[in-house]
Each structure stands twice: as C-alpha cells, then as structure tokens.
Structure 1
C-alpha cells in the first residue's frame, strides 16, 4: 500500500480544502505587500504596548501644556489710573 492509497500523502483528504486565513494566504504582488505591511506582519505585543504608552503620554503632555497655558491667560498685571500695579482678569471684547 502506497502513501497515496492510505491517505497519508501530501494531498490527504483533510488538507485539500485547507487555506491560510486572511491575506497571508492570498496571491498578492510584492508592491502590495510593501505598501501594506501591516496586513502581513505578525502583531508584536511588546511594540504595541510601547506605542500605546508613548501615545498616551504624548497626548497627556499636550493636554497638560494646554491647561497650563489656559491658566496663565486668566490674569495679567496692569497699572491703574493712580499708577499702582494690580492683577486683572483678562476679558474678551465679545463679553
């Protein structure tokens, strides 16, 4: 009995219909793979965690800088009609 007759060869009945899921098993060109590498590269959890922490810290820092700028713009030092310094709240022309 040969391998083909016993069903243990390369083309066994269980593996005939098997395909690799997703785009990894699809017929694509090298240009398509070069332009869209995220579709074909296996995810790296360490790099994803580092990127998530980096983006979170960056957005947090931008928010912090914006909040500090907003706080600084509320009061300013002015000289009144008698020549004394005083702190005034900044107002808009629209108010």
Structure 2
C-alpha cells in the first residue's frame, strides 16, 4: 500500500521585532512610484498642519456663507429717486401692498 504524500512542510517564519515597528502600509515594500502617487498612506499625520487646514477651511466656508447672506439682503433693495431728484436705496414694495 502506498501512503498519502506528506503535506508540504511550512517554512518556519521568524517575525522580527523590526517587522512590527511600522504599522499599516509604512512597513510594506512598495515602489517609489506608488509612494509618490499615494503619499498620504506613508506620511505621519502632522497635527499643527491639520489644525491650520481645518481653521482655514472653516473660515472659507464662513466667508462664503456671509457673502450669501449679504447677497440676499441686497437683493430686496432698489434705487429710488424722490421728488427733489435725490437718489436713495429702499426696499422693493409690491403694487398690491
């Protein structure tokens, strides 16, 4: 009788402490092109730069909101001329009011 072949022997892989120092993709071997195209995967987060970017983005959104709010307020104004020929700004009124 022939016996079943022995399963292939697994190589004993020794994991060094060095292999576990860099979590995530920083420890993986990749090409320089991949690192150049995807730098956010390999660069450590920089908290001061993150805070500056968050504050800047928030101020930009607030400024756009301010411009939108003032645009709506100006939309209802029109230039009117009184009987003496002086021009002034007043709110639009409907003929039906």
Shared fold (TM-score greater than 0.5)?
yes
> What does the per-residue CA deviation read over 1:34-62, in whole Å, with 9 as the maximum and x for residues that have no partner?
01111100100000000000000011001
Contact 1:76/1:87 (8 A) holds in 2 = yes
C-alpha distance in structure 2 between counterparts of 1:39 and 1:90, whole Å: 59
**What is the CA-CA distance between 1:28 and the residue it aligns to?**
0.9
- Are positions 1:40 and 2:50 aligned together? no
Aligned length: 78
Q: Which consecutive residues of structure 1, in runs of 5 or more, have no partner in the other structure?
A: 1-12
Q: Which consecutive residues of structure 2, in runs of 5 or more, have no partner in the other structure?
A: 1-13
Aligned to 2:33: 31
TM-score, normalising length from structure 2?
A: 0.63
Equivalent residue for 1:75, pick from 74, 77, 83 = 77
TM-score, normalising length from structure 1?
A: 0.64
